[in-house]
Amino acid sequence: IISSDMKLKLEDLYEIFIDKLKTNLSSRRKEQIKNFVLTLSNVSFVNEKLVLDHTIGMFLIPLIKGAGEEYEESLIELKEKLENYELSNSVDLLSDVLYTGNQNFKHFSFSIA
């Protein structure tokens, strides 16, 4: 069972990816995320924060692809949200995307990070 706290955090992050980063987050992708979270949550030694952190790093951050100042601002907003949720691995991945994107004339992509 996915906790209500994790559901709220995922929905909050989905909103940023869909509305601000204009990511195509399909029903199929959301179902994959749900199944991954359920599976990983059943591992007794893994805490909820770590589950969410790995989920974001595996399923959402790789979808990042965009350019420009506005896109960068949305990525910074996402990074702040991830920092608030204390998702250190996801913050590190996103920091790499931001750094590399700034080196590539504001073209942001997970694949070039």
pLDDT digits (tens, 9 = 90+) for 77-93: 999 999 999 999 999 99
pLDDT digits (tens, 9 = 90+) for 5-37: 999 999 999 999 999 999 999 999 999 999 999
**pTM given for the model:** 0.92
Give residue 45's Cα distance to chain centre: 23
Name the 3-class secondary structure at 113: coil
Task: Give, as one character, the DSSP assignment of residue 22.
Answer: -
User: Domains in the chain: how many in total?
Assistant: 1
Question: Is the predicted pLDDT of residue 53 greater than 60, yes or no?
Answer: yes
- On whether the CB atoms of residues 25 and 17 are closer than 8 A, the answer is yes
Domain assignment of residue 35, given as a range: 4-112
- On whether the CB atoms of residues 41 and 51 are closer than 8 A, the answer is yes
pLDDT of residue 41: 84
